[in-house]
Chain A
Amino acid sequence: MTEKTEEKSLLREVWDALSFSEIRMAMRVALKHMFVKPVTFQYPREKRTIPDAHRGALGLLRYDDGTERCVGCDLCEAACPSRCIKVVSAENPDVPLSRYATEFYIDITKCVFCGYCVEACPVNALAMTKMYEYSTADKRQLIFDKQRLYEIGEKHIEDAKRYLYAHNQEKNDTESLQYRYKFPHQVAGLTPPQDS
């Protein structure tokens, strides 16, 4: 042990006690802090800036031309450590050889926000957003279905993209074209979904 509080002399102790030195010291700190800017937020009115990497609510994304990115491969379901994702997939009647998610559920009450589903997604259809205010009195609303997830994705598309960039899932816009899953379209001779 290298540090020790100094032993005070008796005189000093008497003087400190008589002059309320401890109280004076405390008051000094208190007074000083009257002129310091508070570090707290007045939450509902003020909000903190959320970093791009923030792992908030999940959303499903579309390509810029409106086609759904998700191909219903269910890998997110396999990757999820808390088993909160359920994907029901089917054959896509419009594009041969392709598959899509007919239903997509994320039980957000079970979600641990680890972001593994985003990491797993081979088409970058999932992304996390900065959305965190979805508390509700009705627990059923916390099972996000496909429609809700696409709504989140649409509303927070910029945040979602920035999330993907921040976590090295996608590079910035110009390079993102090679981050596209082209397979069934290539075969069918169709143009793959484009970003503007």
Chain B
Amino acid sequence: MALKPVTSPDIEAPTIRLTIDGQQVEAKQGVSLYDVISQTGKIIPAMCYHYTFDPFGSCGMCLVMVEGKKAPVRSCTAKAEAGMQVRCEGEDLFLARKKAVEKHLTIHPLDCPVCDADGHCELQDMAFQHGVTNLVNAKPKGLPEDRRSLVLDFNMNRCILCGECINICKDVQMVDALQFFKKEGTTHVVAKGDKGLVCEFCGDCLAVCPVGAITNKYSKYVYKPWQLKKTTSTCAYCADGCQMSIETSGKDVQRVTSPLSWKNKWGDRAETAEGHGGLCVRGRFGFQYIDSKERLGMPLVRTDEGFAPRSWFEAMDTVVGRLKAIKAQHGPNAIAGLITARCTNEELYLFQKLMRAAIGTNQVDSSARYGHLNFTRALQHAAGVGRMMNGYEEITKANVLLLIGTDITETNPVASLRVKEAIRVYGAQAIVATSRLTNIAKLASHPLPITAGSERWFIQALVKAAVEEDLVDEAATTAAPEAFGALKAAVAGLSWEVLTARTGTSREAVVEAVRLYAEAPKAVILCAEGVTRQVDGYAGVLNLVDLAWVTGKLTRPGCGVNALPEEANEQGAVDMGVASELLPGQALYADEDARAKFATAWRCSLPSPDPGATLMEILKRCREGRIKALYLVGENPLATLPASTGVREALEKVELLLCQDPFLTETGQLAHVVLPATTFAEKDGTFTNLEGKVNRVRPALEPYEDARPDWEIFAALGTVLGHPMEYEAAQDVQREIMKLLPGYYNLGEPRPVTARPEGYLRDDYVREVAARYAAGAEADQAARPFALTIGQVLYHSGKLSTRAPGLLQLYPSKGRLQMNPEDLAQLQLGPQDAVRVTSAQGAVELRTEPNHDLARGTCFFPEHFNEPPIKDLAECVVDPTTSVPAFKFIRVAIEKL
């Protein structure tokens, strides 16, 4: 990358002056001439240029005349120099560009009629713009299509060898899955090694391809751009908040496109710090569930002969009748509700309002309870911040990134590009502490393998090293001497032997990591499921806060502690107060004043606080018969929670199990009434992404058959249950939220947050700190030597994505346990051999497959599939503070069958 310093926005270069079409322009020395010209607003055609990567210079279109040079020069690869006299327009340049287009056209096949890119093709545009009419000696290449890869087909007849796909894959995605390859006299773009693609299938190559050389198998030949209606919305898979265009014709979703495309090729490289506009495999290729035939089209009511479809009127009549009877007989606390964090903010708000104001119970919870609440509550408690402290830009521009317990490229692929850009463009040091060799660990400067499940010990070791090596920040610690003293005492109690034994690292490695972290001016901590979903996740986050605090990184701009939420709107679920201990705006439910404010706004009296009524407690109360009716919105606890939690008994025990979901789920099968809800693509509303940015969700389709958006169902139920909720559109709900939480929407921009740990350090810190540095007893590992992680894979998100056939094709339910090949060899297992996996909760038999990225002594199973029901091997440990259930990490014994 010869031009690297040019495009690295942080490197200072002297400012120079040059003349473009008689206009004086200032630029940084060494910047691509093309960038300088496009800054002035002039657009020179260029087919191989895209601002997200360095100029490549293959298309020969961006010709300009530079004084002193006889022939036109390619402006993209030329560097701006002081005193240059540049001319961008003129008949000679037009003809030279026309010649360049003709060169591409003569070897291009005559297949506009079949080509998917037709109407959205830069070559067409260029040919038309330059008035090419007659081609002499046209010689199409006549190559067969390369259909070896999943999802993408490569048609080299159409390829103009611009290299945009290769460049974006290499530079932005850092996957480097594509290459030029010479075969039988012609150059092809092929997957590395001339085989089928092995990559993350983000589809950015498809988005930037200016012609139809790369096509999408899932929508191949089924559309032309003029047939499609484009709706800009927000992806509902993970919390990255990617903007996407859902392109529909009639009732069908034909494809999903990203803001990243060859059409948006002009921009400032520095802009990518906030995102490059691309999507990941889930967003781009996981759209097929939206118009799936498996969707629920009508309400279902359980009769003696099973489910019977009913009209909304009858179904609602049944539901309301039963709910009213239960409330009258057993009181409002016989009703509880759970909602998924894939609903919009408006729906989440309305749901908790429905439960609290219309029904009068505080037994309400969301799927943020599975982990994200550990983070928000810990950070709220310690620093007064209820979400991630850093946005994308701060992650990109950090000097050191500390990633603990996150497989960020799998769970949050687009957020991971910020880490990649930090590494590649801004030269950040990345410390990645994980038990498996994740993709981000392969790119990191400091990959730090640790024993599976030891993330918390590792964090404690980091804190201990920071304190002991005197890497502490003077200002931060002197401001709270008692707290620092307490921390010192607490870490002194930890022994390095125990910590290194448990984490599997050396003291030196830990010290090196913490030294890097502490000495960096801008250092960001990113953690995820490896911390928040583990046992004592709440304490783990507080340990991270301690680390940031003592090194002075808690309050410094550009630094912070972050945990990546999993589902699209987990942050929104917390912000909307869908938890028994919270009110909208993350006000504590126990707070009298806050409660009074909402009681006045909703014109009702709110139920008394019941902070313990969280997910697990609700299920327990169901089992005990105290809860008679359970309202599940998009939640599927039966497929999520291990059997040992007694979830099945709980669901079978209730008198009314009301499910509301786009699909008939496992839990739905047990329900008494199932209401058909819509997917995000049919809804209006907003999602709050991990940065705290409120993104708009727009309806791309009419609701499927009789399905209704969730907010409409809530509003109808609330009204019939005696608490009028007269909203005509999601915007009416939004207006109410705006009144109650001023500034929440904030025009789609995240509000900057500042950590205020002073109060916590003064009041509670000394009392609490010792407990979270107590080295608990380590379970005996001899009997169950393997650590089984049930986790997320790139191609799926929760259970929803398993309804998308395209994603299933990429990652089907294989029912295989992934293990380190050496472990397999040691157990003398062949590829087809079955094993018995035994935990304290039982045993499951299944086959294995090798995975080189896994460390020895660990194994992995994707959480999206319950075939075989490996989740039932887990025992569920509930966090004492936040009641978050931890069940993704199991110690097992494996024996060959």
Contact = CB atoms under 8 A, between A and B. Distances in A.
Contact of B143 (A73, A183, A184, A187): A187
23 contacts: A71-B114, A72-B221, A73-B112, A73-B114, A73-B224, A74-B223, A78-B224, A78-B226, A87-B227, A89-B222, A89-B223, A91-B221, A97-B111, A97-B114, A97-B144, A98-B114, A123-B113, A183-B110, A183-B111, A183-B114, A184-B111, A187-B142, A187-B143
Interface in B184-237: 220-224, 226-227
A90 B114 contact: no
Contact of B222 (A75, A77, A90, A181): A90
Interface string B94-116: 00000000000000011111100
B224 A74 contact: yes
A122 interface: yes
A167 interface: no
Contacts of A62: none
Contacts of B226: 74, 77-78
Nearest to A74: B224
B880 interface: no
A91 B224 CA distance: 13
Contacts of B113: 71-73, 75, 99, 122-123, 181, 183
B144 A99 contact: no
Contact of B142 (A89, A90, A186): A186
A183 B212 CA distance: 15
A88 B144 CA distance: 25
B112, B113, B155 interface centre (most CB from chain A within 10 Å): B113
A188 interface: yes
Interface in A26-56: none
B255 to A, nearest CB: 14
Given A88-B222, A122-B112, A188-B144, 20 more contacts: A71-B114, A72-B113, A73-B118, A73-B224, A74-B223, A74-B224, A75-B224, A77-B226, A77-B227, A78-B119, A96-B145, A97-B157, A183-B110, A183-B111, A183-B113, A183-B114, A186-B140, A187-B109, A187-B144, A187-B157
Interface of A: 71-75, 77-78, 87-91, 96-99, 122-123, 181-184, 186-188
Contacts of A97: 111, 114, 144-145, 155, 157
A67 to B, nearest CB: 15
Contacts of A87: 227
Interface in B67-112: 109-112
A82 B140 CA distance: 36
Contacts of B221: 72, 89-91, 99
A79 B381 CA distance: 63
Contacts of A71: 113-114
Contacts of B220: 91
Contacts of A89: 221-223
Contacts of B114: 71-73, 97-99, 183-184
A97 B144 CA distance: 8
Per CB-CB distance, the 9 closest pairs between chain A and chain B, nearest first, are: A73-B113, A99-B114, A74-B224, A99-B221, A91-B221, A78-B226, A183-B110, A71-B113, A187-B142
Nearest to B118: A73
Contacts of B140: 183, 186-187
Nearest to A75: B113
Nearest to B109: A183
Given A77-B226, A77-B227, A88-B222, A96 B144 contact: yes
B108 to A, nearest CB: 11
Contacts of A98: 114
Contacts of A72: 113-114, 221
Contacts of A91: 220-221
A169 B85 CA distance: 51
A90 B220 CA distance: 7
A192 B141 CA distance: 17
B152 to A, nearest CB: 14
Interface of B: 109-114, 118-119, 140, 142-145, 155, 157, 220-224, 226-227
A73 B112 CA distance: 8
B648 to A, nearest CB: 44
A119 B143 CA distance: 30
A52 to B, nearest CB: 27
B397 to A, nearest CB: 45
A182 B138 CA distance: 14
A182 B113 CA distance: 11
A188 B142 CA distance: 8
A96 B111 CA distance: 12
B112 A181 contact: no
Contacts of A188: 144
A61 to B, nearest CB: 15
A78 B118 CA distance: 12
Nearest to B113: A73
A149 to B, nearest CB: 18
B112, B144, B155, B224 interface centre (most CB from chain A within 10 Å): B224
Nearest to B226: A78
A71, A90, A97, A123 interface centre (most CB from chain B within 10 Å): A97
Contacts of B145: 96-97
Nearest to A125: B113
A47 B155 CA distance: 53
A96 B220 CA distance: 13
Contacts of A99: 113-114, 221
Contact of B110 (A74, A78, A88, A181): A181
A187 B158 CA distance: 12
Nearest to A87: B227
Contacts of A123: 113
B677 to A, nearest CB: 28
Contacts of B112: 73, 122
B357 to A, nearest CB: 47
B177 to A, nearest CB: 24
Contacts of A88: 222
A97 B220 CA distance: 10
Contacts of A184: 111, 114
A88 B119 CA distance: 17
Nearest to B157: A187
B215 to A, nearest CB: 10
A89 B111 CA distance: 15
A66 B867 CA distance: 49
A88 B114 CA distance: 13
Given A91-B221, A97-B155, A183-B114, A74 B144 contact: no
A183 B157 CA distance: 11
Contacts of A182: 110
A160 B226 CA distance: 28
A71 B113 CA distance: 7
A152 B101 CA distance: 42
A91 B157 CA distance: 17
A25 B446 CA distance: 114
Nearest to A123: B113
Contacts of A186: 140, 142
Nearest to B142: A187
A96 B144 CA distance: 8
B228 to A, nearest CB: 11
Nearest to A92: B221
A77 B109 contact: no
A173 to B, nearest CB: 23
Contacts of B119: 78
A181 B140 CA distance: 14
A98 B222 CA distance: 12
A79 B118 CA distance: 14
Nearest to B250: A86
A26 B152 CA distance: 83
B145 to A, nearest CB: 6
Contacts of A122: 112-113
B371 to A, nearest CB: 42
A128 B109 CA distance: 29
B764 to A, nearest CB: 64
Contacts of A77: 224, 226-227
Contacts of A183: 109-111, 113-114, 140
